[in-house]
Every structure is written in structure tokens, then in C-alpha cells.
């Protein structure tokens, strides 16, 4: 079926317009972050920065407590991801590989939990954390972030465990492995890409979390980057260069993770494992 010139042209033109629309905000963030202040506050926008400067990044990283926030964010996020992976791996194995009463119920339960309205539960969590005298601490944040990403981690890992052929496990058991050994030696290595992908999604969720830290941690020593970023403007006024540099610093780890995560997550899971 041959299409007219117009018929071939409009999808491509639309695609280009859409591409610009989706990329522009991201581009503008980086462009502003690297522009000298004179180019930022100019009557006509400077579309392509010619002389890049790191001055705004310096302002952002020199801000009070910046490195505390970075450390807090990393500690809380990494711990939450590790904890939820450990807890989820056990549960995902049971859900993917075993038949038992109430299995479906557990799955539906975790699906419900995945949609939990954390944004509106902050008042209750505040009270719980306060009654435990744990305000302004990283411990409750870590625990609740673990829980926020746990249901997703279980459900996703369940899929990855199920994708490992049962024969592999069985042949390992025929060869004399116990079930535990079969899991450790056969399934676990094959799960690695799945674990990576799942943990990256968990990382993104925890790294982004704002409502909870906003309520429970009022003191700077226990705050994280998202909170810092939302209050950045009140501290730096209309210094958009520094604000965009701060946004860039916050976004870069996620953008990199996400690009890796796309596709890699699912591909090459068990390719060739049975052949040999």
C-alpha cells in the first residue's frame, strides 16, 4: 500500500514536534543550569548556551547542608531498596513457585498495598513517629520507604522468578541440591537482571518521596533532597540558574538509571540457560 507524500510526511512532522515538546523542559533545565546569569535574565531567551559555566552548580552544592541531604537521601533510599528486596525475594519465591491456600489472596493483598494512598496517610504516620519519639530521624523514613516499594518489588520479582524455567531448579535438585541450594545456585544468578530492574524502580520511588519527609523531619539534619529542592526557591529567591542546577543534580541519577532500565530489565533473562 503506497501512501501519498502527505500521508508519509505528517506522522514524521508530528513526531518531531512532539519530541521537542517532551524534551524541551528537560533540555531547558540543563541549559539554564549551565548558562551564565546574564543569559538567564535576558529579555530574549538564549536558546543555546554558548559559554558554559559551573558557577550555578557551585552555588547549589555550596548551599547549607547540601551534602547532608545527599547523604541522607542516599542512605534512606539504598537501605529501603535493600530491605525491600530481601523481604520481597522470600515472598516472591513463595508466590511464584508454591501452591498453597490463600495464594491468590496474598497477591490481591499486595496489589491493594501497591496502590496505598501514602500521600494522605502522613498525618497518621506523623503521630506514630512522634509517639515513638522518632521525629527528625532517618529510621522511620527508611522503614516507611521500604514499605512503599515492597508491594511493587514482590509483585515484579514474582514475575521474574516465574520466568526462570522450573526444569533448571528441578535438575539441580535431581543433581542433589536441596531446595535452598537450588535457589541460591541456580535461580538467584538468573534473577540478577530482574533484581536490578526492580531495585531501580524502588530507588526512583524512594529518591522522589516528598510528603512524608515534609511532615516528619523538620530539622535540616534529617531532611532529604526532594524537600531541599522544594524549599530551594525560598532560600535562593529567583536565582533560576542555581535552582535549575539543583534540579539537574537531583534528576541526573534518576535519568541515568531510567535509561539503563528501559528494556534491559526484561531482555536476556534466561537466554541459553537450558541449551547448554
Site for other proteins in 192-231 (CB under 8 A): 201, 204-205, 207-208, 210-211, 215, 226, 229-230
Report in angstroms the alpha-carbon separations of 243 from 80, 230, 236, 238: 28, 10, 8, 8
Q: Is 152 a binder of other proteins (CB under 8 A)? A: yes
CA 80/CA 153 separation, integer angstroms = 11
Q: Is 69 a binder of other proteins (CB under 8 A)? A: no
Q: Angle, to 10 degrees, between the axis of helix 188-208 and the axis of helix 66-97? A: 140
Whether 228 contacts 66, CB under 8 Å: yes
Q: Which is nearer to other proteins, 120 or 275 (CB)?
A: 120
CA 59/CA 164 separation, integer angstroms = 49
Q: Which is nearer to other proteins, 121 or 168 (CB)?
A: 121
Among 2, 4, 12, 48, binds other proteins (CB under 8 A): 12
For the CB of residue 237, give the shortest distance to other proteins in the complex, in Å: 12
Q: Is 104 a binder of other proteins (CB under 8 A)? A: yes
CA 98/CA 91 separation, integer angstroms = 10
Among 75, 82, 122, 196, binds other proteins (CB under 8 A): 122
**How many residues of this chain bind other proteins (CB under 8 A)?**
99
Q: Is 78 a binder of other proteins (CB under 8 A)? A: no
Tell me the window of 50-58, 60-68, 70-78, 114-122 that interacts with other proteins (CB under 8 A).
Answer: 114-122
The DSSP line for 67-94 is HHHHHHHHHHHHHHHHHHHHHHHHHHHH
**Window 37-66: residues binding other proteins (CB under 8 A):** 40-42, 44-45
Amino acid at each position: 500500500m503506497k501512501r501519498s507524500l502527505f500521508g508519509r510526511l505528517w506522522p514524521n512532522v508530528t513526531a518531531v514536534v512532539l519530541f521537542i515538546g517532551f524534551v524541551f523542559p528537560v533540555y531547558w533545565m540543563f541549559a539554564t543550569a549551565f548558562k551564565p546569569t546574564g543569559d538567564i535574565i535576558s529579555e530574549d531567551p538564549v536558546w543555546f548556551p554558548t559559554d558554559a559555566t559551573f558557577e550555578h552548580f557551585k552555588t547549589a552544592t555550596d548551599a547549607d547542608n547540601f551534602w547532608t541531604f545527599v547523604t541522607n537521601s542516599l542512605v534512606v533510599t539504598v537501605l529501603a531498596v535493600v530491605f525491600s528486596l530481601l523481604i520481597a525475594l522470600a515472598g516472591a519465591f513463595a508466590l511464584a513457585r508454591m501452591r498453597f491456600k490463600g495464594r491468590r489472596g496474598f497477591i490481591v493483598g499486595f496489589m491493594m498495598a501497591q496502590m496505598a494512598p501514602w500521600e494522605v496517610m502522613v498525618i497518621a504516620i506523623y503521630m506514630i513517629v512522634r509517639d515513638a519519639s522518632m521525629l527528625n530521624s532517618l529510621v522511620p523514613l527508611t522503614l516507611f520507604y521500604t514499605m512503599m516499594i515492597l508491594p511493587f518489588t514482590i509483585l515484579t520479582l514474582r514475575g521474574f522468578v516465574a520466568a526462570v524455567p522450573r526444569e533448571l531448579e528441578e535438575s539441580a535438585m535431581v543433581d542433589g541440591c536441596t531446595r535452598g541450594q537450588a535457589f541460591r545456585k541456580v535461580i538467584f544468578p538468573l534473577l540478577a537482571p530482574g533484581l536490578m530492574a526492580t531495585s531501580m524502580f524502588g530507588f526512583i520511588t524512594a529518591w522522589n518521596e516528598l510528603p512524608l519527609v515534609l511532615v516528619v523531619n523538620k530539622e535540616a539534619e534529617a531532611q532529604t533532597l526532594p524537600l531541599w529542592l522544594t524549599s530551594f526557591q525560598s532560600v535562593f529567591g529567583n536565582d533560576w540558574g542555581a535552582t535549575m542546577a539543583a534540579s539537574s543534580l537531583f534528576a541526573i541519577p534518576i535519568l541515568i538509571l531510567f535509561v539503563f532500565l528501559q528494556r534491559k530489565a526484561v531482555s536476556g533473562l534466561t537466554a541459553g540457560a537450558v541449551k547448554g
